Amino acid sequence: MIEYNDVSLVYPNGTKALQNINLTINQGEFVVIVGLSGAGKSTLIRSINRLVTPTAGQLLVDNQDILKLNTKQLRQLRTKVGMIFQHHNLVKRSTVIKNVIAGRLGYTNTLKSILNLYSKQDLQLAYDSLKRVNIEEKVYTRSDQLSGGQQQRVSIARVLTQQPNIILADEPVASLDPPTSHQVMTYLKRVNREDNITTIVNLHFIDMAMEYADRIIGMRDGKIVFDGPASMVNESTFEQIYGRKIRDDDIRGGTTEHEQTSVNPSN
């Protein structure tokens, strides 16, 4: 469970990125955060693994105030909170398996990780994670030889290898084309369902938010301006959140039906 109690964050340049946020996210929820760029979506989710540190308030992850953690405790927290980025952030010159096993770094002794001495279980876990996103045949490929969607799937596998309780995804589909976007979202949703991992995704495409989210949180100017189940949301809700008319570039388009068949032909 994640609990924001009156959390605020002011950046050194004076930007008020979060203003008195009060929010509770339950274990296993699939939450999509929407809002224009600069609304504070990234800051909100990056607070959970302390890539940014809120300046006031209390942020509880599993009843532990993470704003008070020391460096070592912070690393322990981060092993349990996986993160997926817009640009997947893989080491391009390293192989897929080397990138995926990096998910175990937080659990592995420094010397062993440098010498590449991973236990059988860890390697099995890494390979199984690749299988779950259907990319196990690329295990020894250099990651710069993969397409954008494949790289994002590898980064999902890296996060799965962490065996996290929470997955944070910061604009995971913003640089992908529509069919690939749906594929990536489908995997995230499936992982969320199968492993009961709390998943928080930043998106700005309203159709994808409505399609995949259990719960939608709308942000504007560092405040939460909407919070409710996805079923309650329609286009006018988004117009309220965005504070303007919906435009073509707010919609990703493409269908899931077609994608799911091509992702997993056996289904």
Partner 1 sequence: MNRQAVLPPRPKRSLKSMSKTYGLSLLFLFIFIWSALGTIDKVNWSRVFSMHTIANIDRVIPKLFQPNFDKLDRVLELMFETLFIAFTGSLMAAILAIPLGFLTAKNMMGTSPIGKVVNAICKLLLNAIRTFPEILLALIFVASIGPSPFAGVLAIAIGSTGMLGKLYGEVIETIDMQVVEALEANGANKIQILFYGIIPQIVPEFLSYAIYRFEIDVRASTILGIIGAGGIGTMIVISQQNRNWDEVSLILIVIIVTVTIIDNISAFIRKRLV
- Taking CB under 8 A as the criterion, the residue among 43, 54, 61, 78 binding partner 1 is 78
Cα–Cα distance between 44 and 57 in angstroms, integer?
13
148 lies in the binding site for partner 1 (CB under 8 A) = no
**What's the rounded Cα separation, in Å, for the pair 125 and 103?**
10
Among 17, 97, 130, 159, binds partner 1 (CB under 8 A): 159
Query: Residue 51 CB, nearest distance to partner 1 (Å)?
Result: 6
- Residue 64 is classified by DSSP as E
Residues facing residue 152 across a β-bridge: none
Q: Provide CB contacts within 8 A for 240, sequence distance 6+.
A: 218, 225, 226
Out of 82, 149, 172, 222, point to the residue binding partner 1 (CB under 8 A). 82
Least spacing, CB of residue 230 vs partner 1, in Å: 27
- What's the burial of 136, exposed, middle or buried (CB within 10 Å: 0-12/13-18/19+)? middle
Q: Does residue number 158 form part of the binding site for partner 1 (CB under 8 A)? A: yes
Specify which residues 219 forms β-bridges with: 224
User: Token pair 């532990």 is at which residue?
Assistant: 64
Of 42, 43, 47, 49, which one interacts with partner 1 (CB under 8 A)?
49
- The interface region with partner 1, picked from 95-103, 180-188, 225-233, 242-250 by CB under 8 A, is 95-103
Write out the residues near partner 1 by the rule CB under 8 A: 49, 51, 75-79, 81-83, 85, 87, 89-94, 98, 102-103, 105-108, 110, 113-114, 155, 158-159, 162
